[in-house]
């Protein structure tokens, strides 16, 4: 189900009514139902049915609203103003109809990509499959898609019984010979041996959390990005140390620092072939003083600022 964003969500301090150098996000974002040329389009995915199916802690469905509220107060540090950032509302998963909601999200992402770049506010990490459907629909069947994931987990579980927030990358690789997977931040003890074996079987390029300061990581990341026609980036917030991001479905005591994630994210989204980004697994019901939602908003800001360069 589709729903427009309530304009009351975008509120904050006003230092000046007309001088753009004083503006914050809530003074810049445009609410619309249609896309416009050259824009960055925000679309929310109000869903944690995949998390529920994966036996995780539900609550990520409230993240799009929480992320918007935190983003609205940040300063707008860009010279682009007119029709540049558009909030296109939310896709809402009704009941247990995850697959239908993912298809609806895919249609919306594809529509956004006809005129600009798409940022998806998840939602559980099942958001990624809908994001992928939209990118594939927009670029056609023959373009090679590089799936870039910053995550503690492979999300390549079996989906023989049902799909979930832990199956999406296996689904995509099974369906799409022109899609390839690169994931960084993998926790050695956050994935079973079977999942490491599955990743090897599918030729997944992965780096453990402790390998990300190596020159080999930087080289392999850029080689992967340069080898694909289109790049899709997704960030699972459970990759971050639980002390910095407590409000997630599956917290990581040995997770990455927010600064390390920011550095990796900047490299990914600044590549000329990157067309879409999603942020997933923020769980406001488990957050502390909006700490995780605010951090998520800062990451979204990084992506938006890079998108206009």
Residue-wise pLDDT for 89-131, tens only, equals 999 999 999 999 999 999 999 999 999 999 999 999 999 999 9
**Per-residue pLDDT at 82 exceeds 60:** no
What does the pLDDT average to over 23-47?
94
pLDDT score of 245 more than 90? yes
Q: Is 22 exposed, middle or buried (0-12, 13-18, 19+ CB in 10 A)?
A: middle
Judged against a pLDDT cut of 70, whether residue 168 lies above it is answered with: yes
Q: What is the mean pLDDT of the chain?
A: 96
% of the chain with per-residue pLDDT over 70: 98
Q: State whether the Cα torsion 94-99-100-105 is positive or negative.
A: positive
Q: What is the number of residues in the chain?
A: 309
Query: Mean per-residue pLDDT for 154-179?
Result: 98
Q: Judging by DSSP bridges, how do beta strands 230-236 and 145-150 pair with one another?
A: parallel
> For residues 150 and 138, what is the distance between their CA atoms, to the nearest angstrom?
23
Residue 180 is predicted with a pLDDT of 98
Q: Please report the beta strands in 1-58, taking only residues with DSSP state E, as ranges in sequence order.
A: 2-3, 30-31, 39-46
How confident is the model at residue 20, as a pLDDT?
A: 87
* 235 neighbors 155 (Cβ within 8 angstroms): no
pLDDT of residue 309: 61
Residue 7: predicted pLDDT: 94
- pLDDT above 80 for 246: yes
Is pLDDT above 90 for 136?
yes
Q: Is the pLDDT of residue 77 over 90?
A: no
Phi, psi of 214 (to 5 degrees): -85, 150
Average pLDDT score over residue span 270-289: 98
Q: What is the pLDDT of residue 117?
A: 96
Global pTM value = 0.97
> What confidence tier does 80 reach under pLDDT thresholds 50, 70, 90?
low
As a three-state string, the secondary structure of 177-209 is CCEEEEEEEECCCCCCHHHHHHHHHCCCEEEEH
Question: Residue 79 pLDDT > 90, yes or no?
Answer: no
Is residue 83 very low, low, confident or very high in pLDDT (cuts 50, 70, 90)?
A: low
- Residue 24, phi then psi, degrees to nearest 5: -115, 175
Share of the chain above pLDDT 90, in %: 94
pLDDT recorded at residue 34: 87
Instruction: Band the pLDDT of 235: cuts 50, 70, 90.
Output: very high
Q: Which CATH number, 3.40.50.2000, 3.40.800.10, 1.10.1060.10, 3.40.50.170, labels domain 2-307?
A: 3.40.800.10
């Amino acid at each position: 189900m589709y729903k427009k964003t309530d304009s009351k969500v975008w509120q904050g301090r006003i230092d000046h009514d007309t001088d753009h150098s004083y503006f914050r996000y809530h003074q810049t974002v445009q609410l619309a139902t249609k896309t416009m040329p050259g824009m960055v389009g925000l679309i929310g995915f109000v869903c944690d049915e995949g998390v529920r199916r994966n036996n995780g802690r539900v609550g990520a469905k409230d993240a799009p609203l929480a992320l918007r509220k935190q983003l609205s107060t940040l300063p707008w540090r860009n010279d682009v103003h007119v029709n540049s950032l558009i909030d296109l509302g939310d896709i809402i998963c009704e009941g247990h109809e995850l697959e239908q909601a993912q298809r609806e999200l895919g249609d919306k992402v594809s529509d956004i990509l006809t005129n600009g770049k798409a940022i998806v506010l998840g939602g559980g990490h099942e958001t990624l499959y809908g994001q992928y459907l939209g990118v594939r629909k927009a670029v056609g069947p023959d373009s090679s898609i590089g799936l870039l994931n910053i995550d503690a987990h492979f999300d390549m579980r079996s989906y023989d019984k049902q799909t979930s927030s832990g199956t999406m990358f296996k689904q995509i690789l099974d369906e799409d010979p022109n899609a390839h997977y690169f994931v960084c931040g993998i926790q050695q003890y956050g994935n079973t041996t079977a999942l490491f074996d599955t990743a090897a079987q599918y030729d997944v390029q992965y780096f453990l959390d402790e390998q990300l300061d190596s020159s080999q990581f930087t080289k392999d990341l850029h080689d992967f990005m340069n080898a694909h026609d289109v790049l899709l980036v997704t960030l699972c917030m459970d990759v971050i140390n639980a002390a910095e991001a407590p409000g997630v479905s599956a917290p990581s005591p040995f997770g990455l620092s927010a600064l390390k994630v920011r550095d990796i994210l900047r490299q990914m989204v600044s590549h000329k072939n990157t067309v879409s980004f999603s942020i997933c697994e923020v769980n406001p019901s488990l957050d502390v003083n909006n700490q995780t939602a605010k951090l998520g908003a800062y990451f979204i800001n990084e992506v938006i600022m890079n998108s206009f360069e």
